Structure 1
Amino acid sequence: MDLIALGIHEVFGNGVIWAVIIGALIGVTIGSIPGLEPAGVMAILLPLTFTMEPLFGVTLLLGVYGGAWYGGAIPAILMNTPGTPVAVLTTYDGYPMAQKGQGKKALSIAYTSSFFGGMVSVLSLVFFAPTLSQVATLFGSAEFAMLALLGMVFVVLAHNKYALEAAAMIGLGMFLGSIGIDRSFNSQVYTFDQSWLLAGVPLVPAVIGLFAMSQAYVLISTKSGDSFKTKLEGSGRFDGITVLLRNKVTAIRSALLGVVMGLLPGVGEFGSQFFSYTLAQKFSKNPEEFGKGAEAGIVASETSNNAVTASVLVPLLAFGIPADALMAMLLSVFMVHNYTPGPRLFTEHPEFISGLYVALFVMNIFIFLYLTFATRFIVNITRIRGRFIGALIFVLGFLGAYSQNYQFSDAFIALGFSVIGYVMKRNNVPAVPIILGLVLGPVFLNRMRQALGVSNGEFGIFIERPIALTLLTVTILSILVFIFSKMREKHRVA
């Protein structure tokens, strides 16, 4: 009870509630506009959070993150265009319902399912993160090296058809992460005597370029994104509650899948949504209705992707390992304020942890109520011209990259990454692995070096230590299972 009271005081007594509200409003708005992604907006806001109190900055970014996942259902249902990538499956059944004049009902189902998944996700964070942070006390250099390796492998395998491209991008990210001064030998690595590279490739400009400014190019060059016409028909603002109770087994299964998938680096919303939707159809009494306006389809899709939003924080808080690019941004906020994820964070900053829990609960409640009563006004946002938004994002991204250290080199790095990101988008090459390689690569290399230093260069240290061996075994098995599944697919095609 003391922790709850402490968290309530942090959120409502220190003004953090405003970060929750502002972040959620921005997130819902971003999710409502097809073509925009929360990663880009979070990247632009990231430099601003460095000057804020840690809890204020983190909750602002999480508000954008969570709000966008809710808001993405609006254009998915009304326009057959997902507002965020994870709302793709919502279009399968949401849009057919809207065509039948049940747009309000479909949105109510999406909001209620998202709320249920979000609350389950926060509860998983409350229970799992402290426990796993205690497990982290058993980790040494060998264990952290294997955990970073497992995270990078999961990211690659999660891209499935683009696994080779993802592996290449992980490698590129690791290379970029090695640039700068090697403190072990006090020597320069790939700096080419350029002073602006001595500190390495900065994360924030790279993120802004890859996710925000590259998306600006897409919006500016896309004619079809200039304007949208939407209709909001039907009645049933609270019908989602009845539908959720009618499909409670699907909702619970999808929420649990979302929580588990959120714990796995690189899998996240896409994996949980795919499995949840597939299982919902498989166990449905009327599987033929899926894709034609099945209520259970919307429940499975929206519950699963929102059940990831808080559980994805567990690896970050417990081990300091970001599960995706968005969590890598949050990690940079921790680093700026000298907050070290792991057991020390829970013991040294209990006010931060308890405040984070309360803020996430409040965020889900606020977004649900806001969308339930304000959707009619929110849909008008979708009529904003895409080219105008793209130009605004480009300018804000350039200024955001410069404002981190007030160096033009950072702005030009962001500009360079924006071109790379745009080329990657045009060729369907995943950009997320670059950021995770940039973050996890140095962790893996440094921890490997430390572990081998302790063992006098003997690789047996990774086999002699049970946790390291377990992580290494899971990594190898994951690769073998992936290769075996690909071989079976080729055999079927042949």
Structure 2
Amino acid sequence: MDTLLLGLNEIGHMNVLLAIVLGALIGVTIGSIPGLEPAGVMAILLPLSFTMAPLAGVSLLLGVYGGAWYGGAIPAILMNTPGTPVAVLTTYDGYPMAQRGDGKKALSIAYTSSFVGGLISVCSLVLLAPTLSQVARQFGSAEFAMLAALGMIFVVLAHRNHVVEAAMMLGLGIFLGTIGLDRSYSVQVFTFDSNWLLGGIPLVPAVIGLFAMSQAFVLLSQRGNDASRTELKGEGMFSGLFTLIKYKVTVIRSAALGVVMGLLPGVGEFGSQFFSYTLAQKFSKTPDQFGQGAPEGIIASETSNNAVTASVMVPLLAFGIPTDALMAMLLAVFMVHNYIPGPTLFVERPEFISGLYLSLFLMNIVVFVYLSFATRWIVNLTRIRGRFIGAFILVLGFIGSYSQNYRFTDALIALGFAVFGYLLRRANIPAVPIILGLVLGPVFLNRFRQAMGVASGDLSVFVSRPISLTLFLMIVLSLGAFAWGALRKKN
């Protein structure tokens, strides 16, 4: 109780409250604009956060980080263009719902799912942080390799009618993930002596090109086309709560996956979202509705990716290990103020830790309330002609790609992926597996190599430990179930 009071005193300062509100509103705005990324905005705000009090600086960046995942659902549902990379799967069911006149309900489901996922994530961080950190500590190279492999297999099997195409795109993504400087042997891999490829294929330009800019090309190529004029009629903006109650099992499962995946470096929002969506489809009573406007699809996607936002901080706070670039920015703020993350931080700065938890709670409340009442104005974006939206998305895509590292080559990479993504859309080939291969491919390859090195080439290392054995059995069962279903369908 004393720690809670200390935390309340920490966030009670006006500068902290303003940082939470400002960060949340900036995050929602960035997330709702296709082509812009929270990482770029956080990088711009990073020098400003150094001049603020420690909790205010961290809260500002966390507000941008968390708010963007909320806002990313808006263009995903209204314009079939994910505002953030992790809103890709939201387009699968959100946009079809908007097209049939249920845009208001789809947005309500997305907001409520994000809110519930965010609160569950913070509660898990507060109540289960020691236990969760112990679980993450049990993962070795073999476990990470099996988890990455399971995630890639799941996303391929999720494309029931395009499994072969999805597998090919996954392979392409894994190949693209190998490009760059191999630090294990200090050799260049498929760089063709180009310095701008030494760092590999950057994820953000690839995602912007494949999903945002390719959609811009689609809008620009449709003559006389207007953007979808989604009328937000019918159920109120709080109707999503009743939908979540109806699918409460999906909510709990997706939130739990998001919390666990947030602990694992290299998995995060992408892994949790793909796992959650696949399992929601697998256990649904109407799996054929997924991709055609199933509320469960939106719930699984939005709940899981927002459930990551707090749990992803466990490795950072407990071990001082950032799991992604966004957490690395937070680590910089900690270090500038001489707040060294690790076990001693919980003992030496309990008021800061408690204040951080409370700021995460408040950030979710601010974003949810703002979106619930501001949607009537946000939806006006859908009343702009398609070509104007396409041109706007294209420009923002170039800006967003360039602003990551301020390299013109990143914009060219985004353009290349945009053209390729446009061709995939025309051929009805899924592009999502490319991104999963690009994200999880290097994780799998590096962890597989490490595990084999430790075991001196003995493949039994992947089945000699309980966790890796369980993951391996899940892979076998998943492939077996798919093969059995395919044979039954053929017969």
Normalised by the size of structure 2, how large is the TM-score?
A: 0.72
Matched letter for residue 94 of structure 2: A
> For 1:354 and 1:49, how far apart are their aligned partners in 2?
23
Give the whole-Å Cα distance in 2 for the aligned partners of 1:418 and 1:73. 20
| Matched letter for residue 303 of structure 2 | A
Partner of 1:23: 27
Residue in 2 that maps onto 1:333: 326
Q: 1:471: which partner in 2?
A: 471
Partner residue in 2 for 1:310: 306
Task: Write the distance in 2 (CA, Å) between the matches of 1:41 and 1:114.
Answer: 21
Measure the CA separation in 2 of the matches of 1:153 and 1:90.
28
Secondary structure of 2:188 counterpart: strand
Work out the CA distance in 1 between the residues paired with 2:311 and 2:238.
36
Change in 2 beyond 3 A, CA 1:439/1:276: closer
State the Cα distance separating 1:356 from its structure 2 match: 7.0
**Aligned AA (2:148):** A
Higher alpha-carbon deviation: 301-310 or 471-480? 301-310
Q: Is residue 48 of structure 1 aligned with residue 41 of structure 2?
A: yes
Instruction: Select which of 57, 67, 70 maps to 2:71.
Output: 67
Any residues of structure 2 matched to 1:66-145 within 5 Å, and which?
66-69=70-73, 84-87=91-94, 90=97, 95=102, 119-120=119-120, 123=123, 131-145=131-145
Tell me by how many angstroms 1:20 deviates. 1.0
- The 2-side partners of 1:426 and 1:7 are apart by 54
For 1:51, what is the secondary structure of its paired residue? Answer: helix
**For residues 88-134 of structure 1, what are the alpha-carbon distances to aligned partners after superposition, in whole Å with 9 as ceiling and x for unaligned?**
57459964xx9xxxx8x998788667755664565456556663332
Report the CA distance shift for 1:349/1:60 in structure 2 as closer, same or farther (over 3 A).
farther
Secondary structure at the counterpart of residue 44 of structure 2: coil
Q: Quick check: 218-227 or 131-140, which moved more?
A: 218-227
Distance 1:184 1:177 in 2: 15
Provide the rounded CA distance (Å) in 1 between the counterparts of 2:283 and 2:40. 36
1:413 is the counterpart of 2:416: no
Structure 2 letter corresponding to 1:63: G
Matches within 5 A, 1:248-259: 250-259=246-255
Aligned length: 438
Q: Distance in 1 between matches of 2:401 and 2:369?
A: 35
Contact 2:209 2:397 in 1 (8 A): yes
Name the residue aligned to 1:190. Answer: 190
2: CA distance, partners of 1:197 / 1:107: 39
Deviation at 1:141, TM superposition (A): 1.7
Q: 1:420 to 1:301 in 2, by over 3 A?
A: closer
SS in 2 for 1:181: strand
Residues 1:421 and 1:6: Cα distance change in structure 2 (over 3 Å):
farther
Q: Compute the TM-score of the two structures, normalised by the length of structure 1.
A: 0.72
Residue equivalent to 1:175: 175
Give 1:269 deviation, angstroms: 6.3
Specify whether residues 453 and 216 from structure 1 end up closer, same or farther in structure 2 by C-alpha distance, changes over 3 A only: same
1:380–1:272 Cα change, 3 Å:
farther
The match for 2:274 is 267
| CA distance in structure 2 between the partners assigned to 1:407 and 1:260 by the alignment | 38
Structure 1 residues 444 and 240, CA, compared in 2 at 3 Å: closer, same or farther? Answer: closer
Counterpart for residue 433 of structure 1: 433
| 1:141-184 deviations in Å (ceiling 9; x for gaps) | 22222222222222222222222222222221221121122222
Deviations 1:201-234 (A, max 9, x none): 2223222222222222122223464255565567
Partner Cα distance (1:117, 1:445) in 2: 31
Q: Distance in 2 between matches of 1:357 and 1:122?
A: 7
- CA shift digits 1:372-411 (9 cap, x unpaired): 4444434333212222222122122223322333322222
2:167 maps to amino acid: A
Secondary structure in 2 aligned to 1:430? coil
For residues 106 and 135 of structure 1, what CA distance do their matches in structure 2 show? 35
TM-fit CA distance, 1:271: 4.3
1:460 equivalenced with 2:473 (yes/no): no
Contact 2:227 2:382 in 1 (8 A): yes
Contact 1:277 1:301 in 2 (8 A): no
Specify the code of the residue in structure 1 equivalent to 2:464: E
Q: CA deviation at 1:333?
A: 2.2
For residues 93 and 130 of structure 2, what CA distance do their matches in structure 1 show?
28
Per-residue deviation, 1:46 = 3.3
Letter in 2 for 1:48: V
Question: Which residue of 1 is the match for residue 381 of structure 2?
Answer: 381
User: Which segment drifts farther, 167-176 or 86-95?
Assistant: 86-95
How far residue 135 of structure 1 moved from its aligned partner, in angstroms, is: 0.8
- Residue by residue over 1:338-365, the C-alpha shift from the partner in whole angstroms, topping out at 9 and shown as x without a partner, is 68xxxx9774777998677545544543
> Offset of 1:267 from its aligned partner?
3.2
The DSSP-based 3-state class of the residue aligned with 1:416 is helix
C-alpha RMSD of the superposition: 4.4
- C-alpha change, 1:142 and 1:55, in structure 2 (3 Å) is farther
- Letter paired with 1:428: N
Contact 2:78 2:98 in 1 (8 A): no
User: What is the CA distance between 1:367 and its match in structure 2?
Assistant: 4.4
**One-letter amino acid of the structure 1 residue matched with residue 141 of structure 2:** S
User: 1:323 matched to which residue of 2?
Assistant: none
Q: Return the alpha-carbon distance in structure 1 between the equivalents of residues 127 and 424 of structure 2.
A: 39
The alpha-carbon distance between structure 1 residues 361 and 259, as it changes in their structure 2 partners (threshold 3 A), is same
Deviations 1:276-332 (A, max 9, x none): 874799xxxxxxxxxxxxxxx96x676555433423558855689xxxxxxxxx933
Aligned twin of 1:158: 158
Secondary structure of 1:174 counterpart: helix
State the alpha-carbon separation in 2 of the partners of residues 160 and 128 from structure 1: 36
AA matched with 1:210: L
**Matched AA of 1:333:** L
Distance 1:447 1:146, change over 3 A: same
**Gap runs ≥5 in structure 1:** 31-39, 77-81, 282-296, 321-329
Going from structure 1 to structure 2, the CA distance change for 1:56 and 1:216 (only over 3 Å counts) comes to: farther
Question: Cα distance 1:316–1:349, how it changes in 2: closer, same or farther (>3 A)?
Answer: same
Report the secondary structure of 1:185's partner residue.
Answer: coil
In structure 2, how many angstroms separate the alpha carbons of the residues matched to 1:379 and 1:251? 26
